[in-house]
Amino acid sequence: MARKTDWRLPVGCVKYNIGSFLAVLLLGLLGFWRNPVAWTDCPGLDERSSFRLRRGVNEALKQWSLSQAKEADAGKGPGEDAQGSEEDSAEDIPKQDPAEDLPGAGMPENAAKGAGQEESNLETPPAPLEDSTAPAGAPQAQGNFKWVFCAGQWQDCTCDGIVRWGNDDKWLHIKPKAAGELLTVKCNIQVLQDILPGDDGKHCECQVTPGTPFYQGLNPMWLLPDEADAEGASLVSSCELFEESKDHSAWGRNQWQAVEAFCSDEWTETAESRAGDRQMSLDVMRKLMRARVDPRFKEVYKAHFGQSGEMQGWIPQAYVNYFASTPSGKHAKMTEELVRSVHRFSTKVIVVVNFGMTTSAKLTPSRYPRLVLLHADPMDSSLRRSFNFNKLRAFLFARALAGVGLDSDQFVAPGVDRLFEMAEREITADYPLPIMPVHFLDRGPKDLGIWWSRYCADAACSRQTLRWGHAHPSWTHWALPFIGKWLRKNFRDETLPKITGKLQAPSLRVVEIPEDEDLLNVALWEEKATKQWCKFDITDPTEFQPLFDWKAKNGNKCTGCANIMADRRFYKHGGAAKLFYTAHHAVVPSETRKQVDQIEGKLKEGNWPLSTIVFNQRLWTSDELRKAHPQLECLV
């Protein structure tokens, strides 16, 4: 059990005068600062919040200290030195622990300090963000820099400056090989020296300089709220904003129904569904509903999202993507190629939600004028949820009346904007469920998954209402309550009750459904969904080759174009049609760029089909296909 410390102040210490009270209060705060256990005992306080809170206290102490120094200076005569000033005070000069002169003393050999690592053991509380904390010889940054939380223990930190690893007043500094070079540090004791054995609060912080490209790409959720506001990163998603607009429109009501469980004490008190022992606290869920617009994109946001009336904060149609990556990492490059393809072949906005620390400096409004970049906090690793559940959070943040989800390993092609027309036609008040494209695999009870015993309790799998779908859903605001409901069931660790009666089926603990695609399929079956898109997320970019080979003289023939395979339950009439609107598994950014350029070139030549709906090696319009094949099981 964590050691508790009693910080109650004796009443006798404060009854004499205000000065004594402030002195004792200051000492109490300093003691609270120095005691990491006291911080970890705060319920619901994650690593990043703890970091922000410590910074806030530190800034308050700094301002109080400066005010006291000014008062002391005002009472001095000419020529008197200001004893104890911030620059000269021995209290502010960090002291080196002699034991740290022995590299890896008492540690396994592979945990000893490596090249580029310098350790400081400070005997005073961390000084303000202007570097008065670094020991003699520690690496220094140029300019007015800040320390920001970068990664918790067992996570990676990517920074364009110095990284420090530790907690409170003891740090190991890791500097890049060259100034301005991106440095990725694995923040764990298998790679770095364990300078604080037993301290679970160890983490990495990154030294950032305001005004630099790296800082401009920084997730503003890593900053204090006042700092984020000052940078122009306005809050565009929050429980407060959702509640304010709940009575303004049908979509406002649907949004509040989707998020109320994440926001409301009253909902929690009257909840019919029981939460499990892996539930997130209401405070955590509230934080996970917050997103800010990137300051560079605030004018783009204003141009495309309503600024007043019932459309305030909403956009009519938008693609929505989510990702986290280092600025020059593979996923950042994949995401940029996706955004680039949208700007080539679509007229719609793409909302990209960053759940990482930084974004690529190449994502700018001048380069991509229909990109809206949002930032949100990731889910803390202690919550033990897949990163991919951020996809559903992104859908809620986007506030699109009609939305199409795109993953970073996709690119779009001509005709893709038809997906909005399809979504608005099929997802209504009478069918308030998202629709996913059919998967190329026909998954069933022979595949892994704890849910099959519930949906295939009989030989016919009668509780599985659709073939397995691919997690690239489309939705309208009517489906937002569904999205929120099933995200809630995961966040609150709810359990689906067992089925009794003629057909019996076991209960299912939702948090044990590991990924977003698994959850969306289970949720649609549980809600008895009946609609599925034909395959618009083509399995691999190489499948576009028949269209690259197509010439206008070929007419409606598509040589080498194959259907999605048939199955015995859901697709009995030749399988599913393909709509060449997006490519999936586009995991090589350089190849994606070439393919997008190739499509654009063929468009200009007049050698790209006007409609890229393919069935039985023929090109169709949607009306032609429905008329010729009325038994087709998927929607176009």
User: Could you give the CA distance from residue 107 to residue 359 in angstroms, rounded to a whole number?
Assistant: 36
Per the rule left: phi > 0, alpha: psi between -120 and 50, beta: everything else, 528 is left
Residue 223: its pLDDT value, please? 86
CA proximity to 164, closest of 135, 197, 190 = 135
Angle at 4 between CA 3 and CA 9, to 5 degrees: 150
Residue 178: its pLDDT value, please? 87
Residue 117: its pLDDT value, please? 56
User: Could you give the CA distance from residue 128 to residue 63 in angstroms, rounded to a whole number?
Assistant: 10
- CATH, domain 235-439+472-494, list 1.25.10, 2.20.28, 3.90.550, 2.30.29: 3.90.550
Decide which of 556 and 99 is more confident: 556
Residue 595: its pLDDT value, please? 98
Mean of the per-residue pLDDT values of the chain: 83
Only one residue has tokens 């799998």, namely: 461
**Residue 496 C-alpha from the chain's centroid:** 27
Residues 6+ apart with CB under 8 A from 102: none
Q: Is the dihedral of CA 269, 275, 277, 282 positive or negative?
A: negative
Q: Work out the number of other CB atoms within 10 angstroms of the CB of residue 182.
A: 15
pLDDT band at residue 345 under the 50/70/90 scheme: very high
Retrieve residue 178's tokens. 């060259």
Judged by average pLDDT, the poorest of 195-204, 286-295, 471-480 is 195-204
Residue 167: its pLDDT value, please? 92
Residue 274: its pLDDT value, please? 94
User: Could you give the CA distance from residue 583 to residue 536 in angstroms, rounded to a whole number?
Assistant: 8
User: What are the residues facing 372 on neighbouring strands?
Assistant: 351
Instruction: Read off the DSSP letter of residue 446.
Output: T
Residue 149: its pLDDT value, please? 86
Q: What is the pLDDT of residues 571-593, one digit of tens each?
A: 999 999 999 999 999 999 999 99
pLDDT band at residue 187 under the 50/70/90 scheme: very high
Q: What is the pLDDT of residues 12-63, one digit of tens each?
A: 444 444 555 555 455 555 544 444 434 444 444 554 555 555 555 445 544 5
Is pTM beyond 0.85 here?
Answer: no
Residue 26: its pLDDT value, please? 55
Q: What is the pLDDT of residues 598-620, one digit of tens each?
A: 999 999 999 999 999 999 999 99
- Strands 613-615 and 618-620, by their bridges, are antiparallel
Residues 6+ apart with CB under 8 A from 589: 330, 333, 334, 336, 337
Q: In a 3-state reduction of DSSP, which class is residue 635? A: strand
Retrieve residue 89's tokens. 């005070």
Residue 439: its pLDDT value, please? 98
CA proximity to 390, closest of 408, 372, 364, 363 = 408
Listed ranges 63-67, 178-182, 361-365, 390-394; the one with the highest mean pLDDT: 390-394
Alpha helices in 438-515 (DSSP H): 452-455, 480-491
The amino acid sitting at 301 is Y
What does the pLDDT average to over 399-410? 99
Strands (E), 138-216: 146-152, 155-159, 163-167, 170-174, 183-187, 203-208
Question: CATH 3.90.550 residue ranges in the chain?
Answer: 235-439+472-494
Res. 10: pLDDT tops 50: no
Residue 43: its pLDDT value, please? 45
User: Could you give the CA distance from residue 494 to residue 280 in angstroms, rounded to a whole number?
Assistant: 11
